[in-house]
Amino acid sequence: MLSDFAPRLIAWQQRHGRHDLPWQGSFEPYRVWLAEIMLQQTQVETVIPYYLRFLDRFPDLGALAAAADDDVMARWAGLGYYSRARNLHAAARRIMAEHGGVFPEAMDALLDLPGIGRSTAAAIAAFAFAQRRAILDGNVKRVLARVFGIEGWPGARTVETRLWELAENLLPASGIRSYTQGLMDLGATLCTRARPRCGACPFAPDCVANRQGRQGELPGARPRKALPEKAIVMLILLHGREVLLEKRPAPGIWGGLWSLPECPADADPVRAAAGLGYGAEAGRPGAGLIHTFTHFRLRIQPWLLPVRRTPGVGEPGRLWLALDELDGAALPTPVRRILENLRAGAGPITGGVPAWP
């Protein structure tokens, strides 16, 4: 083990690390927590605009806890992994109810909150409260596997256990914030998955992967498994310039968002619309699209169906949304794409099947 790993990393971070991210410069627990949740499985560049908009709408824990579910999901829409938003909202309410609105410092209390695992809890503890805690996100796993030559896929239990032990043993006696940020910065800016910039790395002379030319092999790859596929039809039930949406159940895919009604790929869309209580005229398909999740691939066939309904009648879990009001709605990314295409090409609709762009 490198005896000077921590001081070398801290010195590098202070000179070459990132210091202008919007959540830096403040150790306020709410902001740290929000950033860490958004950064789970999502790149910094993608997170920044969402973080700023979310913080503008919900500037503190109380504002988030008091917000309506739809408001929270609308601000998260497009960022993906929507269980993060539901857990964030639930955790804010728990902190208000069980901790008097004060963000907890103890690891056990952090781990008890929805959506916070071991590494996220450690990052919050390190940044917000300067606690000496080890993190082990994807970037850190890659850095440690390469520098110390840890074989195997980091998701395997034995490999992950070894990485956790290493991460704990490397912790510095002081400077935990710079050290933790340094691990994140090194993995995000130099020790990247593809085309790592080894020449600028402070550990290049000692790094096992660099010395052996094995940057492409370490860390080990996830065992390959074919992604299963699922095919559905999304029903675009249109009345004038309003479209019917249904709220997705939570938990589940797109839980808490407003989506288009679905039916199996081999079902008759007109019959499916009738089953929902709407008489549909003859419709037509739009261009299909594919949306890939972590564990499966979804083939979506949109089907446009003008329907008859009684204006102004609302139903629990359903919403008639004007095409001109898409921007503020909490919609899954593929649904937004479908409806934006429709809005761009439909024009005024007076009857029959509108034009499909």
CATH of the domain at 81: 1.10.340.30
Residue 165 sits in the same domain as residue 233: no
Residue 172 sits in the same domain as residue 90: yes
Predicted local distance difference test score (pLDDT) of residue 281: 73
Residue 168 sits in the same domain as residue 251: no
The whole-number average pLDDT for the span 5-20 is 97
In a domain, 208, yes or no: no
**DSSP codes of every residue in 272-322:** HHHHTT-EE---EE---EEEE-SS-EEEEEEEEEEEE--TT---TTEEEEE
Last residue in a domain, options 144, 170, 194: 194
Average pLDDT, the chain: 92
pTM of the entire predicted model: 0.81
In a domain, 90, yes or no: yes
Tokens 């039809």 sit at which residue? Answer: 233
Predicted local distance difference test score (pLDDT) of residue 309: 64
Residue 113 sits in the same domain as residue 248: no
Retrieve residue 341's tokens: 């295409």
Residue 189 sits in the same domain as residue 236: no
Please name which of 338, 241, 242, 327 lies closest in space to residue 286, comparing C-alpha atoms.
Answer: 338
In a domain, 216, yes or no: no
Residue 184 sits in the same domain as residue 314: no
**pLDDT of 35 over the 50 cut:** yes
Residue 170 sits in the same domain as residue 238: no
In a domain, 327, yes or no: yes
**pLDDT of 351 over the 90 cut:** no
Active-site residue 36, yes or no?
A: yes
Catalytic residue among 28, 36, 217, 340: 36
Predicted local distance difference test score (pLDDT) of residue 47: 97
Predicted local distance difference test score (pLDDT) of residue 23: 96
In a domain, 201, yes or no: no
Calculate the CA dihedral of residues 79, 80, 83, 87 and round it to 10 degrees: -10
Residue 94 sits in the same domain as residue 171: yes
In a domain, 119, yes or no: yes
Number of domains the chain is built from: 2
Predicted local distance difference test score (pLDDT) of residue 125: 98
In a domain, 221, yes or no: no
What is the share, in percent, of the chain residues with pLDDT greater than 70? 95
**pLDDT of 352 over the 60 cut:** no
Domain hosting residue 339, numbered range? 229-346
- Ranked by mean pLDDT, the top range of 149-158, 216-225, 277-286, 347-356 is 149-158
Predicted local distance difference test score (pLDDT) of residue 226: 84
Residue 167 sits in the same domain as residue 316: no
Residue 38 sits in the same domain as residue 172: yes
The whole-number average pLDDT for the span 196-215 is 97
**pLDDT of 153 over the 90 cut:** yes
Q: What CATH code is carried by the domain that includes residue 294?
A: 3.90.79.10
**pLDDT of 2 over the 90 cut:** no
Residue 171 sits in the same domain as residue 56: yes
The whole-number average pLDDT for the span 60-84 is 95
What would the pLDDT profile of 308-331 be if each residue is shown by its tens digit?
Answer: 765 555 578 899 999 999 988 999
Distances (CA, A) of 83 to 44, 76, 275, 298: 19, 10, 30, 18
Predicted local distance difference test score (pLDDT) of residue 212: 97
In a domain, 357, yes or no: no
Residue 183 sits in the same domain as residue 329: no
In this structure, are residues 285 and 217 in contact, taking their beta carbons and an 8 Å threshold?
no
**pLDDT of 207 over the 80 cut:** yes
